[in-house]
Amino acid sequence: MRLSPRERVGSTLFVIGMAHFFKGQFPEAGAKLRASLQDHPGYPQPYRFLAACYAHMGRLDDARAIVARLRAITPLVAPTELPWRTSEHRELLLSGLRLAAAEEGVRLDLD
């Protein structure tokens, strides 16, 4: 990011945010994911992670607002495939999305 300051950094910030998320560093993850959305507001993955992040932090109203924004982009709240090898990472994301989407009646069929 320092080598090319004018380059779009949304995808880089998303990957950094995702790493913080999987380490359980939810405040740091949220900051990176929000910054990622500023660069790529139409990309659904940061919304998913941000909603799960907020849910794990107990910020359910914020998580539900992010899910509503995600649903304006795509009807899929949860991704159809999760590429992570560890079940812990998979469950961390899905459990957060379950909490975030519970009030909207969204069913996650990846169990």
- Is the model's pLDDT at 2 over the cut of 90? no
Structural domain contains residue 110: no
- Is the model's pLDDT at 9 over the cut of 70? no
- Is the model's pLDDT at 40 over the cut of 50? yes
- Closest alpha carbon to 56 in 83, 6, 21: 21
What global pTM score does this model have? 0.85
Q: Pull the structure tokens for residue 50.
A: 């941000």
Q: Are 41 and 73 in contact (CB under 8 A)?
A: no
- Is the model's pLDDT at 111 over the cut of 50? no
| Cα atoms found within 13 Å of the Cα of residue 60, Cβ hemisphere only | 8
* Residues 108, 111: Cα–Cα separation, whole Å: 7
Structural domain contains residue 86: yes
* Residues 57, 98: Cα–Cα separation, whole Å: 14
Number of domains in the chain: 1
Structural domain contains residue 17: yes
Structural domain contains residue 109: no
Domain interval for residue 71: 10-104
- Is the model's pLDDT at 56 over the cut of 80? yes
What three-state secondary structure class fits 76? coil
Structural domain contains residue 99: yes
**CATH number (domain holding residue 66):** 1.25.40.10
